[in-house]
């Protein structure tokens, strides 16, 4: 087990893991981009922007020195917004060593290239082998992890030994980690669910009930699975923590930024208005564009994603989203068990 971990990114998730892992006895280095934020965290042991009520243990080494952070551990976890991952990967690439393992904590698909986060890392971190790159996903709100509430995650890497190594590194008494070698499936599940959470939030904002939300979640799962299978993922992955598990918590929880954003849109607010008041990134907004692009590329029907895209970027009314989905032509319910291209 690696007892030393470097976390690149001091947002809510990076901060939460730093706090939790340090309390569990790991040697943790937390890198933040802004020097002023680092100075405040070193002085007050509080993150001034994210999870400000949580104390950062004195054992966590908080730094803005990229080289110092990279040299502190052979296990790097990158916890930055998905659309910023490539720029950070470019900066840390010269600092990789042959034994470095890199784990992405970012959930999303890059807009311009439609690459998953592990694919972005593989393209930029040419100094290490692709099998040394993995992801850590699952139903895990930062607020609860920081408070040491029971949480489960999935460590995914191209080989089982590497995934098990990541599992051991992050496993604690309150953080249970499972192994999965289906990296594509884990990443698609953990990314597409943010789009579906926006849809669920829109239903909440409009005032639709539990029946509508259950329909959006279930049929959303079907289209998420179809996309993943078309990309080479294993169907069973979407029945696990990175699929239905992460989807449920993101669509239901008060902590979910994506569900909250959708709810605000459902009440009539504009996307610009909502995002201007949010300190944290709602990954589902940009991921909606990427997932829609993947659906077009792989010729997979994703009506819920398409509807969310029209509301976010084409000025469709949220009420019309559900009405349109409800009045589509009659279908068989085979999206969860048969062809990845079946309609939902």
3-state helix, strand, coil in the chain (%, to 5): 55, 10, 35
Question: Is residue 32 within 8 Å of residue 50, measured between CB atoms?
Answer: no
Catalytic residue, candidates 193, 234, 269, 331: 193
What is the Cα–Cα distance from 170 to 294, expressed in whole angstroms?
A: 31
The torsion angles phi and psi of 107, rounded to 5 degrees, stand at -110, 110
| Residue 107 annotated in active site | no
Q: What's the angle, vertex CA 44, arms to CA 41 and CA 48, rounded to 5? A: 55
CB burial string 44-57: b at 16+ within 10 A, e below? eebbebbbeebebe
Give the residue from 177, 178, 222 showing the smallest Cα distance to 337.
222
Cα–Cα distance, 17 to 335 (Å, whole number): 36
Q: How many CB atoms lie within 10 A of CB 64?
A: 18
Alpha-carbon distance of 171 to 21, in angstroms, equals 9
Residue 234 backbone zone (phi > 0: left; psi -120 to 50: alpha; other: beta): beta
- Torsion sign, CA atoms 306, 312, 316, 319: positive
80 three-class SS:
coil
Residues recognised as catalytic: 193
């Amino acid at each position: 087990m690696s007892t030393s971990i470097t976390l690149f990114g001091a947002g809510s998730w990076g901060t939460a893991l730093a706090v939790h892992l340090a309390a569990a006895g790991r040697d943790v280095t937390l890198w933040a981009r802004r020097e002023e934020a680092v100075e405040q965290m070193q002085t007050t042991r509080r993150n001034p922007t994210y999870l400000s009520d949580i104390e950062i243990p004195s054992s966590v080494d908080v730094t803005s020195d990229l080289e110092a952070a990279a040299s502190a551990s052979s296990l790097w976890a990158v916890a930055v917004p998905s659309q910023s991952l490539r720029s950070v990967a470019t900066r840390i690439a010269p600092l990789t060593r042959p034994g470095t393992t890199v784990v992405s904590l970012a959930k999303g698909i890059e807009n311009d290239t439609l690459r998953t986060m592990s694919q972005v890392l593989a393209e930029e971190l040419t100094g290490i082998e692709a099998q040394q790159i993995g992801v850590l996903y699952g139903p895990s709100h930062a607020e609860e992890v920081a408070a040491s509430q029971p949480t489960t995650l999935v460590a995914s890497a191209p080989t089982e030994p590497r995934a098990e190594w990541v599992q051991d590194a992050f496993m604690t008494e309150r953080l249970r980690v499972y192994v999965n070698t289906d990296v594509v499936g884990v990443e698609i599940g953990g990314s597409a669910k943010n789009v579906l959470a926006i849809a669920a939030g829109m239903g909440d904002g409009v005032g639709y009930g539990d029946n509508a939300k259950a329909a959006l979640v279930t049929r959303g799962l079907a289209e998420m699975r179809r996309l993943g299978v078309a990309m080479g993922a294993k169907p069973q992955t979407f029945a696990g923590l990175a699929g239905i598990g992460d989807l449920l918590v993101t669509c239901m929880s008060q902590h979910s930024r994506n569900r909250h954003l959708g709810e605000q849109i459902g009440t009539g607010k504009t996307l610009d208005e909502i995002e201007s008041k949010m300190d944290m990134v709602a990954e589902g907004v940009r991921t909606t564009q990427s997932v829609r692009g993947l659906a077009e590329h792989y010729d997979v029907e994703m009506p819920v994603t398409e509807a969310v895209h029209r509301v976010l970027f084409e000025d469709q009314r949220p009420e019309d989203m559900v009405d349109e989905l409800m009045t589509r032509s009659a279908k068989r319910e085979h999206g969860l068990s048969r062809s990845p291209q079946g309609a939902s």
